[in-house]
Amino acid sequence: MRYLKTIICLMCLLGMTFSGHAQTVQVEQKIDSVSILIGQQAHMTVTVTAQHGAKIDWQKFKPSQYITPGVEVVNSVNGETSEVDGMTKVSKIYTLTSFDERLYAIPPVKVSVNGKPYVGTQLALKVLTVDVDTVHPNQFFPPKDVQSNPFQWADFSLAFWLSVVLVILCCIVYYLYSRLKSNKPVITRIRIVKHIPAHKKALNEIDKIKSEHMQVSENQKEYYTKLTDTVRQYIQERFGFNAMEMTSNEIIYRLRESGDQKSIDELHELFETADLVKFAKHSALINENDLNLVNAINFIDGTKTAAEETEEKIIPQLSDDEEKSRKSRTTIKSLISVITVAVVVLLVYIIYSVYQLLG
Domains and CATH numbers, the chain: 25-128 (2.60.40.10), 193-311 (1.20.120)
How many distinct helices (H) and strands (E) make up the chain? 8, 13
Q: 26, 28, 29: which is closest to 124 by C-alpha?
A: 29
Cα gap 269→1, rounded to integer Å: 163
Q: How many CA atoms lie within 13 A of 291 on its CB side?
A: 13
Helix (H, G, I), strand (E, B) or coil at 116: strand
What pLDDT does 17 receive? 45
Contact yes or no for 199/234 (Cβ under 8 A): yes
Cα gap 189→293, rounded to integer Å: 42
Contacts of 9 (CB under 8 A, 6+ apart): none
The radius of gyration of the chain's CA atoms, rounded to the nearest angstrom, is: 57
Classify each residue of 194-227 as buried b or exposed e, where b means 16 or more C-beta atoms within 10 Å of its C-beta: eeebbbeebbebbeebeeeebbeeeebeebbebb
Angle between helices 286-303 and 261-279 (to 10 degrees): 140
Question: DSSP labels for 142-204?
Answer: PPPPPPPPPP-HHHHHHHHHHHHHHHHHHHHHHHHHHHHHHSPPPP-PPEEEEE--HHHHHHH
What pLDDT does 15 receive? 47
What pLDDT does 107 receive? 94
Q: Is the entire prediction scored with pTM above 0.85?
A: no
What pLDDT does 66 receive? 93
Count of other CB atoms within 10 angstroms of residue 291: 17
Strand order in the sheet with 123-128: 35-37, 123-128, 102-106
Q: What is the pLDDT along the chain (359 residues), one digit of tens a residue?
A: 455 555 555 554 554 444 444 458 899 999 998 999 998 999 999 999 998 888 999 998 988 899 999 999 999 999 888 888 888 999 999 999 999 999 999 999 999 999 899 999 999 999 998 777 677 766 666 677 776 666 677 778 888 899 999 999 999 998 888 877 766 544 456 667 677 888 888 888 888 888 888 877 778 888 888 888 898 888 888 888 888 888 888 888 888 776 656 667 777 888 888 888 888 778 878 788 888 888 888 888 878 877 766 666 665 665 666 667 777 788 888 889 999 999 999 999 999 888 887 76
Q: 241, 266, 262: which is closest to 251 by C-alpha?
A: 241
What pLDDT does 209 receive? 85
Contact yes or no for 231/267 (Cβ under 8 A): yes
Cα gap 308→55, rounded to integer Å: 101
Cα gap 98→64, rounded to integer Å: 10
What pLDDT does 187 receive? 45
Are β-strands 35-37 and 123-128 bridged in parallel, bridged antiparallel, or unpaired?
parallel
Cα gap 289→213, rounded to integer Å: 11
What pLDDT does 313 receive? 62
The distance from CA 139 to its chain's CA centroid, rounded to whole angstroms, is 62
**CA distances from residue 84 to 50, 88, 89 in whole angstroms, order as listed:** 10, 6, 7
Cα gap 224→214, rounded to integer Å: 9
